[in-house]
Structure 1
């Protein structure tokens, strides 16, 4: 019976293990046959190592197709190879599963494949060192996000993704028949739930998948995406802007200080996040006017306008105090100018990463705002009743985690940082 358990990953093999017996599992990346022995490069999720195969195992190693899954056992010794300070002199070489060639893509990364081809073979694509690095970073980033928010006194929650009403006005929602009884929807955000939760839990956050039936096929849009959402009682919008700034800074710093090798492998750059500039919407209009982009107060900022702003403000920057009419019904107006809202977006260049603000907590104002936006308050009674139970003032935001990963890894397409992306064309694998 084959022992499939490894004792070490490739990255763990070093000078301190010289003379020790180890067992390594992975896949064959390269084989160099020189007759009585063969040099085999074995890669696993952490990196690559070199093993020397002799005797009866040479034939098995040479005949095994590249990318076959293997487990090897042997003694660690110093290596003369420039890429490997140590190697394993193999006493046991077992091919567990043979790879069937031709493979759909080259997982070594030496031959590039189009994104669609790679996604069709995503599981194999993850053997590409650059791709694996991206998803190790993605995992590490989520740990930092959680630790930061837990350290700020937030409680992690899970809200429903199958909902019975068209929240936030019902724009761009996927709908489906719910057991022949009624129509149900896939949630596009946890907005209404997280507001309700501040009633008793004070500060909450959720990291989860959401869905948007938006017919946009671009390098930054997906129909299913991961969002980091927070809501906090007794904080104003500038307070939660400070929190998102700390979250982004902590993730970027962790990548640079603790995951630098993966960041370089992924193609990311060192992005310094110091104090993030805060521009008002009206300041943006003034800057755009100087660049020849004439916009009236109340106009939304187009892609072209945001690209121009991104050229002026390199890196991260906030746009605050948007016209109230451009924001959802739950956003609070500014007390000194009710045409403006207590809201913000966090941008990186033209790319919107975060949207947030102070929320209305007065039920009478909420009902009035719903009517102003052409929405029926009766459709929101399940939500509104919580506001009759002593709802505290609260603020929050939602961060598109996939887009943040695009920025930090230097990826040009959001599909590169999502394992199995869903867009207007893709439902498989």
Structure 2
């Protein structure tokens, strides 16, 4: 009987050695912030009553569990083995050598004599070399990054007083929430901007965490003058392509539609509107000149008024003369001509004194009139001076 004791001890030792735990990490050289998938795999032949496993924290990495623990039976080496798996995502915080583990699985097992006893199974540590993040700023590394930009209205054609609501949703596959960048500032000197509180959410998935951040702004131009709200570039490391990429929040035009319509529609004013505008301008100029002239001495004031009347393009006596010529009433033409010439002499404008000679010859039959001179030509001669 004694000779069987060593055999039993060997069998028990073999059964104990069959319980194992290891850390499985793919062959890779991650960059700072990149997700490293880690699988804890235990293979047990003992009957397990209770178990507890805590993944160790470290100042060198962040980590999260991706899915619930899995227990299943597998055939290994011709015998049935109880397999335990836990999937972990590790995110290095700095460049250089990284050690993960050791990890201990604390078990309570049931022996053949029905007694329970504790059993600690430990996975030895694994080591990785972490590369620096290939850009400045937040080390954002992900399998994929998408930007969704929604606007409540056309930003370049807002109604007067309208506020634009802009919502940008950033979704990163394989990144933790705190590794996504902070909300960018949307400020311009001509813009009133209010930012709503941001929302960051994360959900685990078999391939890694999916993180979403939502930024919302309420934007309104101060004056309505058109402007451009500059775009924002978000650099990130594509862990599948192993290269840097850039996600863009696009630039958008901004302003009230009424400002644009007023600016482009200046040439489309109706005749009445244009006339009113010109009259208002002329009235303003005349009013200003009147203020200046009122402060002069009587003689200088008279000279100033004379010079002002000479500069004005509007001559009521000339218009009256042309109207009389069109009607063909020669006596009326003669009277209008006298008023026209009197005004020119009063203003010091050139007058030859022979403007009415042809007209007087036609009207009064004076001698010396040029032969063949009709009433139309005699009236036209009134506008020849000097």
Same fold (TM over 0.5): no
Of Structure 1 and Structure 2, the greater helix share is in 1
Indicate the structure whose relative CO is greater, using CA pairs within 8 Å and at least 6 residues apart: 1
Q: Looking at CA atoms only, which structure, 1 or 2, has the larger radius of gyration?
A: 2
What's the TM-score, normalizing by structure 2?
0.23
Of Structure 1 and Structure 2, the greater strand share is in 2
What's the TM-score, normalizing by structure 1?
0.21
